[in-house]
Amino acid sequence: MRATAAAFARLRWRLFAGAFRHGGAEQLGAVLSVVASAVVAFGGGIAVLAAGRDDEWRTFVVLICVTVVMMVLALGVVAGVSQPIDPRVVATEPLSNRDRSVGLLTAAAVGPPGIAGAVIGVALAAGMTHRPAALPVVALATLSWLASLLLVARTATNGLSLLLVRAPRVGQFIVGFGGLAFYGLFQFVPASFAGLDAGERADLATALAWTPPGQIGEAIATGQDSIVASLGHTLLGSLWLIVLWWGFVTSTERLAVAMRSGGPAVRTDRNVVARWAHRACGAGPTGTVAWRSLVTRFRTPRTAIETITGAAVGLAAALSPALFRDDPGAEAVLVGGAVQLGVLFMAGNSFGNDGPAVAYEMLAGADPAVAVAGKARSILIVAAPLAVIGPLAAAAITGAWRFLPAGLGVGIAGLLAGVGAAVVQSSLVPIAVPDTDNPFASGESGQGILAAALLVLVLVGLTIVTVPVGLALLWAADRDRAGAVVGLVVAAIALGALVYRSGVWFATRRLSGRDEAFLASVTPAR
């Protein structure tokens, strides 16, 4: 078993070194992985050390142990449908299920993210140890906690991959829900936790202490007073490692031979919403492209999570003033219409979502203007509810109903601007979505990091264009100048329409001049 673990560790780092030697986007991805892991290790380690020196450290250690496990689980669901080493590749090797599982876990543990987790574990043990005699039991509890993190992440990945193969719709729902949970941990949990006093934090820790990671936190806390009690809590908190190990081994074995199960075709003609959306797409080639883009949006977990989490992120950002400000006013309703961020997130890979169909059309000599116009129209239709829900929800929360028409106008402007930015982003670096039985297949061709960098640039450009009008609108609303508000709302809609038309024009020019490169980008790998 040691030899197997060592072999997988060497393989992991050879693959990582190969990414550095390959150059281009793969090299950039490897560099960013190291940088991100270093930032997480340094920032997380400092935070844990500081929590260990706080007067409420006994409360914080339980909360840290539980929260980090939840974050790792959510991250495994959202971004874990890939592993450092594909289990299907090593499925044919002469290895037992146990040896293969140990090797895969080792490969995950020795990479940059695994090392970052180990650094945080060392910081947890050092920061929460307040007398030298407690160090051995604290270290033992910390090792159990780190093993839990590793097994939770990898078991969630395997379980989700199996579900996506055998029950794709259920898997898509779980991926979307996991994305919302992961986003919520960063968006809402810190704000909610900041509003708790010491007694409420202690009550929360007491409730969470009954969970397995909570027992590990209790073991670290009680280790300062009683070695025996600490060992007892560690034992209780480690019992679920048996279940996690069994789940990981079993899911790895089944995943190696899993086959996609077919399902009945969806009868969209019986769905009232689908019939309305179909009519909204219109007729002709542009309408056909728009309708196909709509019906393929939930074809894979990746496209589903783009839509679900994109909408959630956009609404959460737009409703933040209404939810978290002590005295939200009219500006909260206006900001509720600023949904361009959500539109960009949910539709930034529109050309890659149905890459094969787009590729065939381009090979047949289709006009790029038709493809771009159809994509833009489909984004308008699928994202239109955000422009209504955001201002309506903000008005309901704040009670500033008289500003609802202005908020809806801002929503229209944000929708148009977001669509223009989305087609630009997708035309720059389309990411092919694999259509294969292999849940670990990647059609990205090493462009994921480049796409993320371009997304930041598009966001910056969109901000530069829209912020001046937005600030002027907030200024007019704060001074209750109705005429100025109306004029600025009209100006915002005109600006959004300009961004929309400019984005469609740019994407059309982009596709017209790079047919071969575009076809290679949207063709998914098997």
Determine the pLDDT at residue 181: 65
Determine the pLDDT at residue 191: 67
Give DSSP secondary structure letters for 35-93.
Answer: HHHHHHHHHHHHHHHHHHTSTTHHHHHHHHHHHHHHHHHHHHHHH-S--SS-HHHHTTS
308's tokens: 């679900």
Q: Cα(358)–Cα(352) distance, rounded to whole angstroms?
A: 8
Give DSSP secondary structure letters for 195-241.
Answer: T--HHHHHHHHHHHTTSHHHHHHHHHHHTTT-HHHHHHHHHHHHTHH
75: pLDDT strictly greater than 50: yes
Q: Cα(496)–Cα(294) distance, rounded to whole angstroms?
A: 22
Cβ neighbours of residue 281 closer than 8 Å, sequence gap 6 or more: 287, 288, 290, 291, 294, 377, 378, 381
Determine the pLDDT at residue 433: 61
| pLDDT over 70 percentage in the chain | 72
- Torsion angle in degrees (nearest 10) through CA of 102, 108, 110, 116: -140
More confident residue, 436 or 466: 466
Cβ neighbours of residue 175 closer than 8 Å, sequence gap 6 or more: 77, 78, 81, 160, 164, 301, 304, 305
Q: Cα(320)–Cα(191) distance, rounded to whole angstroms?
A: 11
Determine the pLDDT at residue 119: 92
Task: Give me the amino acid identity at 107.
Answer: A
pTM of the model: 0.62
Q: State the pLDDT confidence band at 442, using cuts at 50, 70 and 90.
A: very low
Determine the pLDDT at residue 485: 78
Lowest mean pLDDT, pick from 165-174, 222-231, 260-269, 277-286? 260-269
CA nearest to 111, candidates 23, 11, 22, 24: 11
Which range of 74-83, 447-456, 471-480 scores highest in mean pLDDT? It is: 471-480
The count of residues in the chain is 526
Q: State the pLDDT confidence band at 120, using cuts at 50, 70 and 90.
A: very high
User: What backbone phi and psi angles, to 5 degrees, belong to 299?
Assistant: -70, -35
167: pLDDT strictly greater than 60: yes
pLDDT tens for each residue of 316-359? 777 777 666 666 666 666 776 677 777 877 777 777 666 667 77
DSSP letter, residue 437: S
Q: State the pLDDT confidence band at 84, using cuts at 50, 70 and 90.
A: low
DSSP letter, residue 402: G
CA nearest to 161, candidates 222, 248, 225, 221: 248
Q: Identify whether the C-beta of residue 226 lies closer than 8 Å to the C-beta of residue 148.
A: no
436: pLDDT strictly greater than 70: no
